[in-house]
Amino acid sequence: MNLTLKIWRQKDAKDKGKIVDYPINGISPDMSFLEMLDVLNQELIGKGEEPVAFDHDCREGICGTCSLYINGRAHGPQTKITACQLHMRSFKDGDTIYIEPWRAKAFPVVKDLVVDRSSFDRIQQAGGFISVNTSGNTQDANAIPIEKENADKAFDAATCIGCGACVASCKNSSAMLFVSAKVSQFALLPQGQVEATDRVLNMVKQMDEEGFGNCTNTGACEVECPKGISLENIARMNREYLAASLKG
C-alpha cells in the first residue's frame, strides 16, 4: 500500500508543533500500525532526519502505553482495540492518515506523539489501593468467598489499561471512566469496602485538581475504550460518591 501520513511534530513541551506530511510506500496489510511507523522512522533515520517519537512497549494491547489519535479517533478506526493491535489491513491503498497525540490539558505533550499521563498515577496514589500491609500475614485467600458474578464484574473493571483513550475522546477531557473503573473494582469486592468513602472522595478530588473536565454523559469514552470498560462504572462511582459525600 502507498499512503500519505500527516503527523503531528512537536520538538518538546514548549514548542508549538505542526502537522508534517510524509508519503510512505510498500506497506503490507499484515503490518501493525506501529510497525508501519517503524518503517517510516527507519526511512527518516536513513535520510539523517529525526524519527517520529511515539509511546509503545508491549505491542500486544495490554500495557496501555501506545496512545495515538488516528484520523480523529483514539487508537484509530476499530473499536475495542489499542493502536498497537491495529493492523494496516484496516486501511486502503492511497489513504491519507492523520496521526496526532492525545489532546487534553492534563496530558501535556512531551514530544511529537508522546504525552505525559502521570496525572493518572497521581489519581491512583490518592486512593486507588486497599490499605493492607504487604507482610503476607493476611487471612487465607478462601476465607472470604466472593460471588462469582461480583468477582467477574470487578475483574472487568480492573482490566483498564490506563491508556487515556477515554480522556482523549471525551469532548470535556473527563477522566471519569478511568477513575470509575478503579473505584468500581474495589466497590465490588469485600476487601475494598472499609476505605470506600475516603477512596472515592480522594480520587475524585485529585481528578479535579489535575485539570480533567466534567462528565456530561456523552459516552464517547466507552465507545473508544480498548478494554470495553462500561459506563455502568461511572454510574456506580456516582452512587459511591454521593453516599460518601452524605456520610462525609
Residue 53 interacts with other proteins (CB under 8 A): yes or no: yes
Residue 186 interacts with other proteins (CB under 8 A): yes or no: yes
Cell matching residue 109: 505533550
Among 63, 146, 158, 231, binds ligand FES (CB under 6 A): 63
Residue 33 near residue 66 (C-beta atoms within 8 A): no
Q: Give the residue among 63, 60, 59, 42 at the shortest CA–CA distance from 51.
A: 42
Residue 226 interacts with other proteins (CB under 8 A): yes or no: no
Among 25, 191, 216, 217, binds other proteins (CB under 8 A): 191
**How far from each other are the two terminal CA atoms of the chain, in whole angstroms?**
59
What are the backbone dihedrals phi and psi of residue 99, each rounded to the nearest 5 degrees, phi first? -125, 120
Beta bridge partners of 32: 87
Dihedral (Cα; 172, 163, 239, 235), 10-degree rounding: 70
Residue 94 binds which entry of ligand FES, other proteins, ligand SF4, none, CB below 5-8 Å type-dependent: none
> Which residues are near ligand SF4 by CB under 6 A?
160-166, 177-178, 181, 225-227, 229
Q: How far apart are CA 167 and CA 100, in angstroms?
A: 14
State the minimum distance, in angstroms, from the CB of residue 205 to ligand SF4. 19
Residue 242 binds which entry of ligand FES, ligand SF4, other proteins, none, CB below 5-8 Å type-dependent: none
Q: How far apart are CA 209 and CA 39, in angstroms?
A: 40
Q: How many residues bind other proteins (CB under 8 A)?
A: 78
Residue 227 interacts with ligand FES (CB under 6 A): yes or no: no
Helix axes 118-125, 176-187, angle to 10 degrees: 30
Cell matching residue 248: 462525609
Q: How far apart are CA 244 and CA 248, in angstroms?
A: 6
Binding mask 5-44 for ligand FES (x = CB under 6 A): ----------------------------------------
Among 10, 82, 173, 230, binds ligand FES (CB under 6 A): 82
Residue 56 interacts with ligand FES (CB under 6 A): yes or no: yes
State the minimum distance, in angstroms, from the CB of residue 160 to ligand FES. 12
Contact footprint for ligand FES (CB under 6 A): 56-59, 61-66, 82-84
